[in-house]
């Protein structure tokens, strides 16, 4: 699971959960997969994200070094920043671990890089 994917996942459909976001990450295995650097793509994705959630997620799995907590104005001209954002968003992958709903504590296992967000019927709103 890449952090770009983590950034958009919620557990809001759980019964009784209001926001279900962000999901906490507990990672037991993290790997880096190189992806071609495409500054235009990264620049375009950044405003769509919840940056603070990305920053916290990166910190929580030990890959947040050098990543600013707040996006700077004119970030699109800062290629060092874009490279770091690229790495954290697209290259860092959680292979094993679990995600936790911030309200209910429900855990969603991550196995072989795939988060399992399936719910039982009884769990759904």
Partner 1 sequence: MKLKTLEGHLGSISGFSKPKIQLEQYETPAHIAAVALYTIQTQYSSIEDKLVLDAGCGPGMLSVGAALLGAGTVVGVDIDDNAIEVLKDNIEDIELTNVDAVLCDFLSPNLLKWNNYFDTVLMNPPFGTKNNVGMDMKFLRMGLDLTSDSVFSLHKSSTRSHIQKKVKEWNAKGTVIAELKYNLPATYKFHKQQTRDIAVDLWRIHH
Q: Which residues bind partner 1 (CB under 8 A)?
A: 1-2, 4-5, 7-10, 12-13, 20-21, 33-36, 38, 40-41, 45, 48, 50, 90-91, 93, 112-119, 124-125
Least separation in angstroms between CB 105 and partner 1: 18
Q: What φ, ψ does residue 99 adopt, rounded to 5°?
A: -105, 150
Least separation in angstroms between CB 40 and partner 1: 6
Task: Give the angle subtended at the CA of 19 by the CAs of 30 and 3, to the nearest 5°.
Answer: 20
* Closer Cβ to partner 1, 9 or 24, answer by number: 9
* Closer Cβ to partner 1, 27 or 93, answer by number: 93
* Closer Cβ to partner 1, 35 or 67, answer by number: 35
């Amino acid at each position: 699971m890449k952090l770009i994917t983590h950034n958009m996942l919620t557990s809001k459909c759980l019964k009784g959960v209001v926001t279900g976001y962000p999901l906490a990450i507990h990672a037991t295995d993290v790997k880096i997969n190189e992806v071609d650097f495409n500054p235009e793509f990264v620049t375009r994705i950044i405003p769509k994200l919840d940056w603070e959630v990305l920053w916290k997620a990166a910190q929580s799995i030990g890959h947040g070094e050098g990543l600013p907590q707040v996006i700077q104005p004119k970030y699109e001209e800062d290629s060092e920043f874009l490279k770091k954002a690229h790495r954290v968003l697209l290259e860092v992958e959680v292979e094993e671990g679990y995600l936790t709903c911030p309200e209910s504590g429900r855990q969603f296992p991550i196995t072989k890089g795939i988060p399992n967000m399936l719910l039982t019927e009884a769990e759904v709103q």
